[in-house]
Amino acid sequence: MTVLHEKFSPAGPGASARPGRAVFCLILCLILCLIFCLGTTTVFAAESLTVAKPFGPSDTNLDPAKGSNGWYASEAGITETLFALDFDMKLIPCLARGFDNLSPVSWEIRLRDNVFFHNGLPMTAQAVKTCLERLIDEKSDGFNKRIQGLLDIKAITIKDARTLTIETRHPNAGFIYNLTSPETGIIDLSTDTLAGTGPFQLKAVVPNEKTVVTAFHKYWNGAPKLAQAELYVIKSPVSRMLAFESGKIDIATNFPELDALRLMKQGNGAKVEIIHQPTARLCFFFVRVKDGPLADSNLRNALNYAIDRNQILASVLGGIGAEIGASVFPKVMPWCNTALSTYTYAPEKAAALLDAADAKDLDGDGIREKDGKPLHLKMWTYETRAALKPTLELIKSQLLKVGIDTGIRVTKKGSPINQAMQQGRVHLNLQMWNTAPQGDPDAFLSDVFMTHARSNFMGYANPKLDQLLQAAKTCFDPKERARLYNRAQQIIHDENPVIVLFHKSMVTAMSNRVTGYRIHPAEKYLLTQSIGKE
């Protein structure tokens, strides 16, 4: 039996006890007795939650295979993947209950029982096969080139209704991790209506404005505590802050750090809670190493010592918006090489290294010369991440203190900067990337640091690192694989084809009525069945 919560108002003063009321009370008592006797009642939540975040869908179609929809559908609790990452970035089963690695190219996936799509149909091995195959089929309307390259699937076969085998074209020890990618969210394709398996089902999408979801009470992992949630897209950090402080929003993600500090100082009377958690989103410079002044390793090392990361953390991020890093991976990630040392602010070391690179101030104007020209570096970034521009401006002033002149430029998106760097027109390219969205180290390292890799905008080439990354990708011994990736991170740390600044923390403001909300380091989970509202 199912009972919906309703609010009843008692009779007002002077109301008399009428027969109809007595009958009503008797019937109500009988119903309650029946409920307690059955003992199988599911009580549905009646609360609604409002969330503000900077990004959201630009189309009414939330098909996870297309664009960034997989991320938005995952955040909204609509879709789920076969495997997931826990809050320590460790691999855990989700729609799958387990797997066996049959060979370097063969994986048996065992599915959970009693999982239903939002349209009421059961999740089967056939449904999962159909969903994954369309991602890698170039003729399919759900074809996703990134996922095709990530999964590298050759064939999918069904063993039984709850078991399937996936064969890859090449060995990949991180294959199961790749099945956590939100684009691989499993949906039922027998109807045109989006039907995932998550704790919430899609009610409406207003492009670039909001997504509305309602509770899915047949959710395999327990009924959600919320009846409904509205996820608003508010791009401006200031606007998100004002919406939250006005009481219109229960949870505001990517909250401005200085405003978060202000609310924290207000104490318990503010009736809000500020939480912050380092994520896998790395703020770093791509460094043009192929040619130009930064081809000199001494000069690259000098930059590391000339940048005061603590000043950036305090001035730009309020001391809570980041964690200074040494590796390209955050400490919360099991694959992070925690033995690496963070570059500390040491302008005297920077000066010595600049001298060693034959970059000296010969005319006394405060700017060093190299190869007969003033040492001038072009630094670019983009505007969609609020911390990037002030970080770049602060670094400009820090580099000037050691005699390095810089010119900065801010574009609307990051891709024009990448193209300009590939052409040799940019020396330092400040970006903020999620370096471990699937929790496995291979994707970022292979995509950025291997010679001729798709995102190797720096012109970096190290044959030894290429061999190391290839060996790690095909190593199925976890301890040996960790050793190989630790070595790879050490090489990157020492040679500086990128300059690591900090791992961005997610700063979130939420009403003290919200319960069960946690920030996930991979940034792809937000609404869960555990979130409630008192």
Mean pLDDT along residues 511-530:
95
Burial of 64 (0-12, 13-18, 19+ CB in 10 A): buried
What's the pLDDT tens digit per position in 35-78?
A: 333 333 344 456 899 999 999 999 999 999 999 999 999 999 99
The pLDDT assigned to 106 comes to: 98
What's the pLDDT tens digit per position in 324-360?
A: 999 999 999 999 999 999 999 999 999 999 999 999 9
The pLDDT assigned to 16 comes to: 36
The pLDDT assigned to 6 comes to: 29
Contact between residue 403 and residue 367 where contact means Cβ atoms under 8 Å apart: yes
Q: Is the confidence at residue 102, as pLDDT, over 50?
A: yes
**Per-residue confidence band for 270, with pLDDT thresholds at 50, 70 and 90:** low
Structurally, at CATH architecture level, domain 80-184 sits in Alpha-Beta Complex (3.90)
The pLDDT assigned to 266 comes to: 82
Strand duo 48-53 + 228-233: pairing: parallel
**Per-residue confidence band for 268, with pLDDT thresholds at 50, 70 and 90:** low
Integer CA distances (angstroms), 282 to 67, 183, 508, in order: 22, 21, 18
Give every CB contact of residue 459 below 8 A, 6+ residues apart in sequence. 288, 289, 290, 291, 422, 424
Query: Which helix (DSSP H) or strand (DSSP E) does residue 156 occupy?
Result: strand 153-160
The pLDDT assigned to 271 comes to: 85
The pLDDT assigned to 7 comes to: 29
Domain ranges of the chain: 80-184, 279-505
d(CA 405, CA 395): 11
Helix 297-306 with 347-356: angle, nearest 10 deg: 160
Q: Is the confidence at residue 32, as pLDDT, over 50?
A: no
What's the pLDDT tens digit per position in 203-254?
A: 999 999 999 999 999 999 999 999 999 999 999 999 999 999 999 999 999 9
The pLDDT assigned to 269 comes to: 52
Return mean pLDDT, the chain.
91
- Residue 218 backbone class (left: φ over 0; alpha: ψ -120 to 50; beta: rest): alpha
Contact between residue 166 and residue 152 where contact means Cβ atoms under 8 Å apart: no
Backbone angles phi, psi at 407, to 5 degrees: -120, 135
Q: Is the confidence at residue 202, as pLDDT, over 50?
A: yes
- Cβ density class 343-368: b for 16+ within 10 Å, e for less: beeeeebbbebbeebebeeeeeeebb
Burial of 265 (0-12, 13-18, 19+ CB in 10 A): exposed
Q: Is the confidence at residue 180, as pLDDT, over 60?
A: yes
Give every CB contact of residue 441 below 8 A, 6+ residues apart in sequence. 174, 329, 333, 335, 472, 485, 488
3-state percent helix, strand, coil for the chain, nearest multiple of 5: 30, 25, 45
Two tokens at 367? 């700017």
Query: Which helix (DSSP H) or strand (DSSP E) does residue 367 occupy?
Result: none
Burial of 98 (0-12, 13-18, 19+ CB in 10 A): exposed
d(CA 134, CA 45): 36
> Would you say domain 279-505 falls under CATH 3.10.180.10?
no
- Cβ density class 234-243: b for 16+ within 10 Å, e for less: beebeebbbb
